[in-house]
């Protein structure tokens, strides 16, 4: 898809991968509106010239706020990027139900609700795209973050089914699967991390090439291992 001239809604676009996506998409000539929920980050994104919709997508009110703010504005591309993880490891401490609910909403319910709400707008465009950002952990889960893994695996399944529904229409469906990326969410983790700039670059490239999946960085290796032996891929990641 030619990104120049396209109108894009990008959730979670004031930090991390989302902010880098917003910058790179704008550099391609797209008009990018982002959502965010932290006042300081919203202000910083506005200073960069981005249109920002303040919305907390960890509950239904945030989705309603985004849809209301868009009004009848045309959207060519919806990028469901916003996501979070919750501490849910019984080896360390009992999980907090509120954190789990927020993760379920932000990672799964919000993308589905936004797609449903914006489908008529996307169908009205000559060509359109939905980009759902999942994770390499949607392929095989680790042991330390089961709720995060479950939401991303569910969104992956939804994305694949949605692609089947929209086959033959003007709406292309892309799933982006990042590895561990150097963002605020992974700050406490050690080990190798992909830069958010490079992650965004690979996703934008996949958008331009009309790919169904963007296996980013080391996710290419995970996908190859999983294709040969799903059990082996699971056994490797469940060590973490």
29-69 per-position pLDDT tens digit: 999 999 999 999 999 999 999 999 999 999 999 999 999 99
Question: For residue 21, is pLDDT > 90?
Answer: yes
Give the integer Cα–Cα distance in Å for 221 and 237: 13
Contact 135, 178 (CB under 8 A): yes
CA angle 54, 166, 155 (to 5 degrees): 50
Backbone angles phi, psi at 226, to 5 degrees: -65, -35
Question: For residue 187, is pLDDT > 70?
Answer: no
pLDDT of residue 240: 78
The band of 192, judged by pLDDT with boundaries at 50, 70 and 90, is: confident
Phi-psi region of 155 (alpha: psi -120 to 50; beta: other; left: phi over 0): alpha
The band of 190, judged by pLDDT with boundaries at 50, 70 and 90, is: low
Contact 77, 34 (CB under 8 A): no
Classify residue 95 by its DSSP letter: P
Within 10 angstroms of residue 195's Cβ, the number of other Cβ atoms is 14
pLDDT of residue 188: 66
Out of 50, 105, 148, 158, the active site residue is 148
* Domains and their CATH numbers in the chain: 7-237 (3.40.50.720)
The band of 239, judged by pLDDT with boundaries at 50, 70 and 90, is: confident
Question: For residue 211, is pLDDT > 80?
Answer: yes
Lowest mean pLDDT among 55-59, 127-131, 188-192: 188-192
Write down the mean pLDDT value for the chain: 95
**148 given a catalytic annotation:** yes
- Bridge partners of 118? none
How distant, in Å, are the alpha carbons of 32, 162, 209 from that of 214? 20, 16, 10
């Amino acid at each position: 898809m030619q990104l120049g001239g396209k109108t894009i809604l990008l959730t979670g676009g004031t930090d991390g991968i989302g902010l880098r996506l917003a910058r790179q998409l704008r550099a391609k000539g797209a008009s990018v509106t982002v959502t965010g929920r932290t006042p300081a980050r919203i202000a910083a994104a506005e200073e960069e010239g981005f249109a920002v919709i303040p919305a907390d997508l960890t509950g239904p009110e945030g989705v309603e706020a985004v849809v209301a703010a868009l009004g009848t504005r045309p959207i060519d591309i919806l990028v469901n990027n916003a996501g979070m993880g919750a501490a849910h490891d019984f080896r360390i401490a009992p999980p907090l139900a509120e954190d789990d609910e927020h993760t379920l909403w932000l990672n799964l319910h919000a993308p589905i609700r936004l797609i449903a709400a914006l489908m008529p707008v996307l169908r009205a465009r000559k060509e359109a795209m939905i980009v759902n950002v999942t994770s390499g952990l949607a392929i095989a889960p680790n042991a330390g973050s089961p709720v995060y893994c479950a939401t991303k695996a569910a969104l992956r399944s939804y994305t694949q089914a949605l692609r089947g529904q929209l086959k033959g229409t003007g709406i292309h469906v892309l799933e982006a699967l990042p590895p561990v990326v150097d963002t605020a969410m992974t700050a406490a983790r050690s080990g190798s991390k992909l830069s958010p700039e490079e992650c965004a670059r690979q996703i934008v490239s996949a958008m331009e090439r009309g790919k169904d999946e963007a296996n980013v960085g080391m996710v290419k290796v995970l996908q190859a291992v999983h294709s040969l032996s799903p059990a082996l891929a699971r056994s490797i990641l469940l060590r973490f």
